[in-house]
Structure 1
Amino acid sequence: MAQIKIYGVRERLNPVKEPLSEVIHACVVEAFELPADKKFHRFFPMNREDFHFPDGRTDRYTVIEISIFEGRTVEAKKHLIRLLFERILNTLHIAPQDVEITIFETPQHNWGIRGLPGDELALGYKVNI
């Protein structure tokens, strides 16, 4: 399971939602070996006055927050981060200094999905990779 939130300046984020979603999803599927049909993305296009970021970033600054079941190795998480930076740059021409990624891990029992605690679900894919 991976729930993904993407934040950015409205005028810059809205035009790239679909291709950005495709890039993110392909990276998560590859790095975490998730099934291709497990895509949970939420976009938060923000007004410029509501999205403050430090000097050295442009208006293409994008924040990606990834919530996952705990269990992936450090190597798998680093692989995902590297893939995201590389493919976002190559596909959407958003520079790495304009992308920030945070991975939040929680135990499966802290998730509620389809009427069950997450640790009681039959997932059909591995979490410990």
Structure 2
Amino acid sequence: MTQDIPPDAADRARALFGDFIERRWGEARPEFDARWGDHVFMDRFARGWRDMADSAGSFKRIGAPLARRSGDYTVVDVPLIAGRGEAIGKVAFDTAGKVAGLAIKYPRRHRLDPRPVRIFFLGNPEILGLGRTRI
């Protein structure tokens, strides 16, 4: 049976990354399922986000999100445009609508772009469409 993409998934992902950009960690916490919503997790995520943001420069805008199904998950890709390049934020929502995984790929790869891609992720990378990523 094919499941539909929840109509609010793209907007929720965009709002989630908006909270991250503004460093409103407390506002983002309720979006995560119980195993991800504790203070230790949010502290770890905040450090990873700051590292990525420091290398990307100040954020200029959030692009149009694109949602798709991946097994039992809804995965949303969110373009993040910053002063020194572009990144892709990825959010996987489970069937209960909670965040089951999250990733940031920087820089966004373009054809023939020689720069190495850095990936920060939490959760199962295969859910997020990252394959068997090793960091």
Q: Which TM bucket (shorter chain)?
A: 0.3 to 0.5
Normalised by the length of structure 1, the TM-score is 0.34
Return the TM-score normalized by structure 2.
Answer: 0.33
Q: Which has the higher contact order (CA 8 A, sep 6+)?
A: 1
Structure exhibiting the larger radius of gyration computed from Cα positions: 1
